Amino acid sequence: MHEMSPLINPGDAVLDLGCAPGSWCQVAEELVGPKGIVVGVDRVYVPPLTLTRFIVGDATLPSIQKSIREQLIEKEYFDVVLSDMCPNLIGIKSADHQASLNIVNEALKIAHGMLKENGTLLVKIVKPPASKKESAEIYIRAEKFHPLNRKYPLSLI
């Protein structure tokens, strides 16, 4: 995906939501280089990397979002928001589908408040087990982000 059109560039500020086990953060570190910043957030502990700043907690909580913002020292917003968040699937197709949409909606709300204008959002959608034919995951890349008005909440659902 990155080879077709670069997602992350040198010097970028990257936020990785649902970052465990840290693979995307590791790749992001290499791409942003020493002048960039990578912030990873997950509910579980992730072993440290060289440049990534990890936050353990639920990214949807205001206190964790405040901690995320505090990591931005030289920039006001992130250039890229990656969401690899995944709901706990229970095997009921309709409930799992709704849980997946809810996670995407949360990622969109976080990006709305933290992604710079013309930034990029990459979000994972998990297919419920009953609908799997190939991959269980679909990634949607949204480019040229434009905040309509950051004062008002945003929702897909």
- Domain of residue 68, CATH code: 3.40.50.150
Pick the catalytic residue from 66, 75, 93, 124: 124
Q: How confident is the model at residue 3 (pLDDT cuts 50, 70, 90)?
A: low
- Is residue 147 in some structural domain? no
Task: For residue 124, indicate whether it is catalytic.
Answer: yes
Number of structural domains in the chain: 1
CA 38 to chain centre: 11
- The parent domain of residue 44 ranges over 13-142
Give the pLDDT of residue 146. Answer: 74
Query: Residue 78 class from Cβ within 10 Å (0-12 exposed, 13-18 middle, 19+ buried)?
Result: buried
Q: Please check whether residue 156 lies inside any domain of the structure.
A: no
> Is 49 a member of any domain?
yes
Contact 84, 104 (CB under 8 A): no
Residue 37 pLDDT grade (very low, low, confident, very high; cuts 50, 70, 90): very high
Residue 157 pLDDT: 41
Domain annotation covers residue 151 = no
- Is 1 a residue whose pLDDT tops 60? no
Does a structural domain hold residue 155? no
Instruction: Look up the pTM and report it.
Output: 0.87
pLDDT for 70-126, tens place per residue? 999 889 999 999 999 988 888 888 888 889 889 999 999 899 889 999 999 999 888
